[in-house]
Amino acid sequence: MAKANSSFTAKWVEAVKAAGKRQEIPDPGLKGFYLVVQPLPSGAKSWAVRYKGHPKYTIGGVAAWSLADARKEAGRVMRAYDEGRDPREEKKEAASDENLVENVLDEFIKRHVQKKNRASTAREQQRFIDNELLSRWKGRRISAITKRDIVKMLNEIVDRGAPQSALRVKALVSKFFAWCVGSGRVVASPCTGIEPPAAVTKRKRVLSPDEIRLVWKGAKAIGWPFGPLTQLLLLTGQRREEVAGASWREFDLDAKQPAWTIPEQRAKNGNSNIVALAPVALAVLASLPRIAGKADLILTTNGETSISGYSRGKRRLDEAMLAAARKEAEERGDDPGKVAIPEWTLHDLRRTLATRGGDLGILPHTVEAILNHARVGISAHYNHARYEAEKRAALIRWAAYVERLVAGKPGSNVVPFKTARQ
C-alpha cells in the first residue's frame, strides 16, 4: 500500500499506482483527509474524509476535484461535523431538484425580485434571468455554478456590444447569490472578487434629424410589432417598458384632448403620468391589431403578455435604417458602402426628445414633466404642478417636427463608415 511521508502534492497523487486491493491513503498534512484508490482493473482515484468516528464522506473523483479544491471541501465537511451538521444529508439535499438553477431562480423571483422591486425593474430582471442566466445554466445545480461561469457570461455580454447590460447582469447575479447564501442554498457566493465587466458610462447619444427620420422609416419598414413600439417611443418620450406594457384601458382616444395615462404602479418612479397624444400618435395606435386577452395589451402577440425579443427587434430596425440610408446615398450619387449609423439604443430616443425638444423652444421643466422624471430638492417638496397644458402643446409640437423630418428631403447627417467606427 502506498504511503505519503508529507502533505499530498498533485504530482505525488498522480504517481500513485493501483494495486490488487483497495487503498485508503491518509494525507499527513490534513488529518482525516484521504486519497482512495480502487483495486485493479479500475484503479479509479477519489477523495474522502474520515473524521472523529463519523461515517466516511466521499468528496468525489480526482479527475473532477483538484487537490486544492478537495482539501477545501474536506475542511468544510469537518467543520460541518464539528458544528453538529451532517454533510452527507446536506450533499443529498444539494443534489435534489429543488437546487436546480431554474428552481432556485423561480424562488428568488417570487421571494425577492417581485417583492423588492418596482414592476418595471422586476420585468427587466426577469428578462435578464430568462435571456442570460437560464439560457446558460438551466439544468445545473446551483452549487455547481462557479466564478468562471459568471465571468464567462459577463465577457460574452460585453463582447456582443452590451457592456452596460453586463453591469446590470453582474449586479443581479451578485444579489441572487447573496440571497442564496442568506437562504442556506450555498455556503459562499461565487461572485466575490469579480471585477466590474465594464466602466459605468453616462450616455449622451442624441440622434440627429436625419437619424430621427431614418428611425421612422426603419420602424415603418419592419412593421408590427417592433416598428409601432419604436414610433410610440419616439413620439411620447416614455420608457420602453411603459410603452410595451401599456393596455388599451389606459388610453382615452375619444376625448377632445386624447391622452394616455400611465398608472403609478407601472411608472418607474411610482408617479402616474398623463401623456398627450398628437394626431400622428393616434394614427400609430389606430394601426395596431386588437388581440383579445385579459391584459388588453396594445403590444402583444398572444393577448396575455407584452412583446419581447427587443435585441432581435433592434437589430432588424438597425438593418432597415442602414438599408434606407445606403439607398439614399446611392440616389445622391454617393458611395453607399461608406455609410454607417453610429450605435444607439431605444433609450436614446428619450434623450433625443429632451434635447431636440429644447432646440424647438420647449422649456426644461416641461421636458422633465413629459419624461416623468422624479423631482429633487425644493421642487420635490413644494412644486406639485403637472404642466399638463404645456406638456400637450410640447408633444404636439414635437410630433409635428418629426413629421416634417419624415416628409423632408434627406440631408447629410448620417456619417461615413470610417468616421462612425472612429
Pair type for strands 251-252 and 57-61: unpaired
Q: Report which secondary-structure segment, H or E, holds 421.
A: helix 417-421
CATH of the domain at 295: 1.10.443.10
pTM of the entire predicted model: 0.60
Contact yes or no for 368/377 (Cβ under 8 A): no
Question: Where in the sequence is the domain holding 351, given as residue range(s)?
Answer: 209-421
CA distance 186 to 41: 37
Say which amino acid occupies 157: I
**Tens of pLDDT along 294-342?**
779 999 998 888 998 888 999 999 999 999 999 999 999 999 999 999 9
Same domain, 53 and 120: no
Same domain, 352 and 220: yes
pLDDT for position 184: 85
**Tens of pLDDT along 357-373?**
999 999 999 999 999 98
Peptide bond into 196 cis (omega under 30): no
For residue 315, what are the contacts with CB-CB under 8 A and spacing of at least 6? none
Q: Decide which of 147, 182, 217 is a domain's last residue.
A: 182
pLDDT for position 422: 34
Contact yes or no for 33/68 (Cβ under 8 A): no
CATH of the domain at 154: 1.10.150.130
DSSP per residue, 46-97: EEEE--TTPPPEEEEETTTS-HHHHHHHHHHHHHHHHTT--HHHHHHHHTSG
Q: Decide which of 139, 166, 182 is a domain's last residue.
A: 182
Q: Mean pLDDT over residues 200-204, rounded?
A: 77
